[in-house]
Chain A
Amino acid sequence: MELDYLATILLSSLSSASILLIAAMGLAVVFGLMGVINLAHSEFLMIGAYAALTVTKAGVPYILSIPIAVMITMSIGAIVEMLIVRRLYGRLFDTMLATWGLSMFFMQLVVVIFGTSTVSVATIPQFNVSIGEYSLDGYRLLMILVAALMFLFVYLLMTKTVYGMKARASIQQPEMAQAIGIDSNRVNTLTFSIGCGLAGFAGAILLPLVPATPTMGLAFAVKSFLAVVVAGPVALTGTVLTTLGLGGGSSITASFLSSVIGEVFFFLITALLLWLYPCGISAKWRRKL
């Protein structure tokens, strides 16, 4: 019975960490490949959720609403990159402030359009998995698989496609990349747009777990943001480690003690990691993705 309890806690913590990874993936891509911190990331997640919600209510099956949400967020992302982010390259903190302004704008816009109330989606799959006498939400567990697939997808996209190679070349040696004819502006627009698309995907896929509200992004924003920054320059792999460590750790702490102590654990470990690795845990790694 003890073993069942332990297994339950481990699995549910792993799924919490996976949910965090799903939410943070787009942020990690944009930070790792463009060196840009997008503070409006969580609002793209929210837009993805609202997009999925809206089309589901219009009669489209939930599973099909996900690609629609991705497309909508990708387009908005591309526009944002061209109008705002592109003008601020190399000005990390200005980009942060501008995207924070954007996040306020989006949040309020959604309040104006949809109001502040929550609408749940009835057509979404609900099932439970039981371990011994404990029962876990199956959809939550499924997120472990989703996170793994999502990581695999991004990894393959970055290593096996021409776009991925161009993107990595543009961030490692920007001048050289331009010298050999890579249009880094286009590559960056696409990267930013993919990052936003991943956020939209996260919002849509998490919809059954996290109901759509204008402020839903905030809960993820802070933690995914911290996980990515603690991960440091090798954002993608680093973020997998930090989300598992920080997210999983705080979830385990929360289940044994209390949710507030779980939060405190998250922030304290973040501070400790930054003290030990002042430029992120991956600052001295040799790998680049």
Chain B
Amino acid sequence: MTLSEKIYQSAGLTLPAIATLTALVVAFLIDPYLAFVSTSWLIFGLLGMSLDIVWGRGGLLSLGQTAFYGMGGYFGSIAAINFSELTGNSIIWALPIGSLFGALSAMLLGYVIFYARMGELQSTILSYTFTLLLWSVIQTFKIDIGSASVLGDSGLSNIPGIIIGFGAEAESLGPNQALMTVIIIVAILYFLTRQLMHSHFGRIIDCIRIDSSKTELLGYDVRKYQLLNFIYAGAIAGLAGTLYALWSNFLSPSVFSIQEAFLPPIYVLIGGLGTLAGPFVGALMIGIMSFVLGGAAGGQTTLILGVTLILLVLFLKNGILGSLDSLWRKFLPDPNAAARNTNSVKIDVEVLKQILIDAEKQAGPAKNFSTIQLFKKFGGVIPVNKVDRNFIPGKPYSLIGANGAGKSSFLKTCVGIYQPESGVVNLGDDNITSSPIFERVKKGMGVKNQKPQVFGDLSVIDNLWIAAYSRTHDQQIALDISHKVLCMLGFEEQLGVNASALSHGQQQWLDIGMVLCLAPRIILLDEPAAGMTKEETRELSLLIRTLALHTTVVVVEHDMDFVSTLEGHVTMLHQGEVFAEGNIEELRKDERVLDVYLGRRKHV
């Protein structure tokens, strides 16, 4: 790695660290009024970062961040008003309670959004509804909690300032010291979040954003991770709300308003989506703009803000940090250069066997896979009609049939994408008929869909790693396994290449490699040979035959030549039912099969 690449890699740490130190010095020196105002910019940046976690990383544009911010603010302030007299210090009460309530409200909303598997637009709208619901409730909501009184429209006042000292004499910090305290709190949260997003958790969140169905096929409980990420962001927003309340000593229902709800997306867009540091840049710029224009232009800030937003969306999609990042990367060596000199994949049977034996040691022996009277219908169409099958390890099983025979529907019902109306699916000794997909994968099911499903923005090795990690939950073991599979596929040189830079055929192999990393005990392959060259198909056939010696393999396939090279058991489906079975020679002699396949009269 060259020096410039090293600098680039660590830019997310060094630049914010430099910015923090500079900010601390500046905060000490500047005019108190400016220090007071700029504290709020930093707090808004923190609010923006909480959205960036959910939107830039998680992929959900949430308009509920200001709701968590407001909830955190209100409850944190109530805690501060009541308890700060006991200790003098206000933040040890306000910050934990504020972030707790931010997290709780995010949990409530996130549970509904993720566990109902809501559409993208509907999720955004529901989060907006949540904010507006709080807005309309809080406007008339009046309650006294201890010495804090929430007065509907008139808000909540008498909130103590930021007090870090202890004892009866402790006083609110002056503007400069308050700013420095907020800088330190924000910096801690930024580095914590960055660490989290660089850990396996962050990688899984990235995968969910790129392709959530593939992530679930790798055995991750997608909804759990989405919810956890949402709750974490809610806690950050709640903490930001509390800081805001302590800073302004006053809260009004307007924190939940429509105008407020759209501010975090603006900060994020200006700074750069998914950059984590971007929202701070965005909040700072908007803050400086309103500060400079504030007196002279009056309400014209809104006008400028509106136009800025339109221009940003149209012309600067990646925001300021995002654009600087792409500019910087132009001067670095292209990581995808290696994608251009790849050889065709050659499967080394001995290496593959070793991998499979290792997998067997870790994951146990191959499992049977059976369906009993499996039945699925869509309206009047019955694509899976009382199918009884028992698949065992040893030889590959092929499912054939004309278009619409029910092959793919059968496979999807086995995988768990379709819920059957009746019947049973067994994996080994477990009845998995109603298990969610990720649980089936954890029990040993591996699935390769027809289209290659790889995480395009992740490097080849990371793609394999994320699959291996799902099973092992150990970073180092996962890395070892992915290296072995990488070598077997002959992708050593493309290790750091983005998966999206690979050709279609290579992506197919990478996808198969990811399935191997899962060490599945039963493998379901949907038309794996589609779009492959003759040579690749030959290698694939070899791979499948080797796999079948160690695991149970079921292949759905159209290509008869390919099916005959598998030398396995063939089942032909017709109108959702098992029509014929045996080896390929027997089927070729069967008159009824020829009738259905070639469209002769009798059985069509």
A275 at the interface (CB under 8 A from B): yes
List residues of chain B with CB within 8 A of the CB of A263.
136
A244 at the interface (CB under 8 A from B): no
Main secondary structure of the interface of A (DSSP, over half): helix
The closest CB in chain B to the CB of A101 belongs to B309
Contact: A267 with B136, CB < 8 Å?
yes
Contact: B119 with A260, CB < 8 Å?
no
Contact: A274 with B122, CB < 8 Å?
yes
List residues of chain B with CB within 8 A of the CB of A87.
314
Min CB distance B44 to A, Å, is 17
Complex CA distance for A263 and B136, rounded to whole angstroms = 7
Complex CA distance for A226 and B310, rounded to whole angstroms = 23
| Partner among B112, B128, B307, B313 whose Cβ is within 8 Å of the Cβ of A88 | B313
A-contacting residues, B107-124, CB 8 Å: 112, 116-122, 124
B-contacting residues, A97-148, CB 8 Å: 97-98, 100-109, 111-112
List residues of chain A with CB within 8 A of the CB of B269.
97
Complex CA distance for A275 and B262, rounded to whole angstroms = 24
Min CB distance A238 to B, Å, is 13
The closest CB in chain A to the CB of B305 belongs to A104
List residues of chain A with CB within 8 A of the CB of B119.
278-280, 283
Question: Interface segment, B189-197, B296-304, B327-335, B533-541?
Answer: B296-304
The closest CB in chain A to the CB of B315 belongs to A87
List residues of chain A with CB within 8 A of the CB of B313.
88, 94, 97-98, 101
Contact: A275 with B112, CB < 8 Å?
yes
Contact: A108 with B300, CB < 8 Å?
yes
List residues of chain A with CB within 8 A of the CB of B118.
274-275, 278-279
B7 at the interface (CB under 8 A from A): no
| Partner among A105, A225, A275 whose Cβ is within 8 Å of the Cβ of B303 | A105
B287 at the interface (CB under 8 A from A): no
Complex CA distance for A36 and B302, rounded to whole angstroms = 24
List residues of chain A with CB within 8 A of the CB of B317.
94
Complex CA distance for A102 and B129, rounded to whole angstroms = 21
A268 at the interface (CB under 8 A from B): yes
Contact: B305 with A101, CB < 8 Å?
yes
B61 at the interface (CB under 8 A from A): yes
Contact: B120 with A92, CB < 8 Å?
yes
Q: Mark A72-108, 1 if CB is under 8 A from B, else 0.
A: 0000000000001001100011101110111111111
The closest CB in chain B to the CB of A37 belongs to B121
Interface size on A, residues (CB 8 A): 42
Q: Mark A251-288, 1 if CB is under 8 A from B, else 0.
A: 00000000010011001101100110011100100000
B23 at the interface (CB under 8 A from A): no
Min CB distance A56 to B, Å, is 27
The closest CB in chain B to the CB of A260 belongs to B140
Complex CA distance for A88 and B269, rounded to whole angstroms = 15
A218 at the interface (CB under 8 A from B): yes
A152 at the interface (CB under 8 A from B): no
Min CB distance A262 to B, Å, is 9
Complex CA distance for A73 and B128, rounded to whole angstroms = 27
Min CB distance A250 to B, Å, is 11
Complex CA distance for A250 and B139, rounded to whole angstroms = 18
A222 at the interface (CB under 8 A from B): yes
List residues of chain A with CB within 8 A of the CB of B124.
93, 96
Contact: A108 with B299, CB < 8 Å?
yes
| Partner among A84, A92, A274, A283 whose Cβ is within 8 Å of the Cβ of B116 | A274
List residues of chain B with CB within 8 A of the CB of A226.
125, 128-129
Min CB distance A111 to B, Å, is 7
Contact: A279 with B308, CB < 8 Å?
no
Complex CA distance for A279 and B125, rounded to whole angstroms = 11
Complex CA distance for A94 and B319, rounded to whole angstroms = 13
Min CB distance B138 to A, Å, is 10
B604 at the interface (CB under 8 A from A): no
Contact: A100 with B122, CB < 8 Å?
no
Q: Mark B131-153, 1 if CB is under 8 A from A, else 0.
A: 01100110110000000000000
Contact: A229 with B303, CB < 8 Å?
no
Complex CA distance for A114 and B448, rounded to whole angstroms = 62
Contact: B112 with A271, CB < 8 Å?
yes
List residues of chain B with CB within 8 A of the CB of A230.
125
| Partner among B112, B122, B308 whose Cβ is within 8 Å of the Cβ of A229 | B122
Min CB distance B311 to A, Å, is 8
Q: Contacts A260-B140, A271-B129, A274-B116 known; A280 to B122 CB distance under 8 Å? A: yes
Contact: A278 with B121, CB < 8 Å?
no
Contact: B125 with A93, CB < 8 Å?
no
Complex CA distance for A54 and B299, rounded to whole angstroms = 24
Min CB distance B212 to A, Å, is 14
Complex CA distance for A37 and B61, rounded to whole angstroms = 14
Contact: A275 with B129, CB < 8 Å?
no
Q: Contacts A92-B121, A218-B258, A280-B122 known; A260 to B136 CB distance under 8 Å? A: yes
Besides A92-B120, A106-B306, A278-B118, 12 other A-B contacts (C-beta < 8 A):
A101-B308, A101-B310, A104-B303, A104-B305, A107-B306, A111-B299, A229-B125, A260-B137, A260-B139, A271-B126, A271-B129, A274-B125
Enumerate 29 A-B pairs (CB-CB under 8 Å) in ascending A order: A84-B310, A87-B314, A93-B124, A94-B313, A96-B124, A98-B310, A98-B313, A100-B309, A101-B307, A104-B303, A104-B306, A107-B306, A111-B299, A112-B300, A221-B258, A226-B128, A229-B121, A229-B122, A260-B136, A260-B140, A264-B133, A267-B129, A274-B112, A274-B118, A274-B126, A278-B116, A278-B117, A278-B122, A279-B118
3 residue pairs, one from A and one from B, having the closest CB atoms: A101-B309, A104-B306, A105-B306
